[in-house]
Amino acid sequence: MNATLSELKPSAAPLIEIRELSKAYVRGKQKVEVLHHIDLDVAEGDFLALMGPSGSGKTTLLNLIGGLDTPSGGSITVGGKRIDRMKAGELARWRAANVGFIFQFYNLMPMLSAQRNVELPLLLTKLSRSERRQRAAIALKLVGLEDRASHKPAELSGGQQQRVAIARAIVSDPALLVCDEPTGDLDRESAEEVLGLLRLLNREHGKTIIMVTHDPKAAEFAHHVLHLDKGTLVEQATA
């Protein structure tokens, strides 16, 4: 296992380089600093768990890495690109090509079938309709839901919905997956399935994964665990 992993890792720069990253929210006259001067490198092929008390800034950090939000200070370089300097339109295109998102509450389109949900990111590509369909089918097969392709989200269990969301996140083959409490709403068994799937994507498909979690059992699936406390990082190795 370690051999394959080191083969995946590039010899040069890490996939993600974060320097002096700060984020402050302005609410009315109040300015709340949520992240303070964070430095962090994430190697390509890494599987990182991010833990910490509620309100410590985990989601904020994850959103910044995924390009959903822009920092107040510092820099974020992903794959050699300074995403903190990108304009909204550019950032949207960058997200579409490079990041898959997995949320606690799945965030599927309730009116669309599983298949159509998975196809969504491919609408932004030049792929033909049949190619889109084919790729979505492959992604669904990978998460073990090929027989649920025509089901709407409401007709699926939480675990199944989250697996559809994972299929959607990987269908355009991004290098990076960001997951915000992906098992936060699942029972133990479904959680294990989802985590197993993430591990597979990391090991077999070389996806770099950053996962926020409150669950120490979930964190065990990661190579590293980082602790965030009041907007500052405290690194700890996994057991």
Partner 1 sequence: MKYLHLIWAALFRRKARTLLTLVSIIAAFLLFGMLDSVNAAFHAGSQSALGAQRLVTSSRYSIIQPLPLALASRIAAVPGVEKVGHANWFGGYYQEPKNVVFSYAISPEYLDLYPEIRLPAAQRKVFDATQTGAVVGRVLARRYGWKIGDQIPLNSSIFPMKNGSKAWPMDIVGIFDVSKDAANGLDQALFFHWKYFNEANAFGSGSVGWYIEKLANPAQADRVAQRIDALSANSPNETKTQTEQAFQASFVKQIGNIGLIVGAIMGAVFFTLILLTGNTMAQGVRERTSELAVLKTLGFSSRSVLAMVLAESVLLLLIGGLIGLGIAAVLGPAVTRGSGGLVNLPALPPSTWVDGIAVMVVIGVLVGTLPAWRAMRLNIVDALTGR
Ligand X SMILES: Nc1ncnc2c1ncn2[C@@H]1O[C@H](COP(=O)(O)OP(=O)(O)OP(=O)(O)O)[C@@H](O)[C@H]1O
Instruction: Report if residue 196 touches ligand X, rule: CB under 6 A.
Output: no
Could you tell me the sign of the dihedral formed by the alpha carbons of 17, 34, 88, 211, in that order? positive
Among 21, 49, 59, 84, binds ligand X (CB under 6 A): 59
| Residue nearest to ligand X according to CB distances in the complex | 59
Within its chain, how far is the Cα of 69 from the centroid?
Answer: 14
Phi, psi of 95 (to 5 degrees): -60, -45
DSSP run (H or E) holding 229:
strand 224-229
Which one of 56-64, 82-90, 92-100, 219-227 is the stretch in contact with ligand X (CB under 6 A)? 56-64
Return all residues near 42 (Cβ < 8 A) that are at least 6 apart. Answer: 14, 15, 16, 48, 208, 210
Residues, the chain:
239
Decide whether 184 or 206 has the Cβ nearer to ligand X. Answer: 184
Looking at the Cβ atoms of 172 and 202, the one nearer to partner 1 is: 172
User: Which residues contact residue 48 at a Cβ distance below 8 angstroms, ignoring those fewer than 6 apart?
Assistant: 42, 209, 210, 211, 222, 223, 224, 225, 226
Window of 6-14, 26-34, 75-83, 126-134 that interacts with ligand X by CB under 6 A: 26-34
Decide whether 51 or 91 has the Cβ nearer to partner 1: 91
Residue 160 sits at the vertex; the CA angle it makes with 155 and 165, to the nearest 5 degrees, is: 105
Q: Decide whether 52 or 66 has the Cβ nearer to ligand X.
A: 52
Q: Could you say whether residue 84 binds partner 1 (CB under 8 A)?
A: no
Cα(107)–Cα(118) distance, rounded to whole angstroms?
Answer: 12
Closest to partner 1 by CB, 120 vs 137, is: 120
Minimum distance of ligand X from residue 107's CB (angstroms): 15
Interface residue with ligand X among 25, 82, 230, 236 (CB under 6 A) is 25
* Nearer of residues 146 and 185 to ligand X, judged by Cβ: 185
Minimum CB separation from partner 1 for residue 174, in Å? 10
What SS3 class is residue 137?
helix
Return d(Cα 175, Cα 216) in angstroms, integer.
Answer: 25
Among 15, 60, 101, 159, binds ligand X (CB under 6 A): 60
Count of chain residues binding partner 1 (CB under 8 A): 26
Which member of 15, 44, 114, 116 binds partner 1 (CB under 8 A)? Answer: 116
CA angle 5, 210, 149 (to 5 degrees): 95
- Binding residues (CB under 6 A) for ligand X: these are 25, 27, 32, 34, 52, 54-60
- Binding residues (CB under 8 A) for partner 1: these are 59, 63, 68-69, 88-89, 92-97, 101, 103, 107, 109-112, 116, 120-121, 123-124, 129, 168
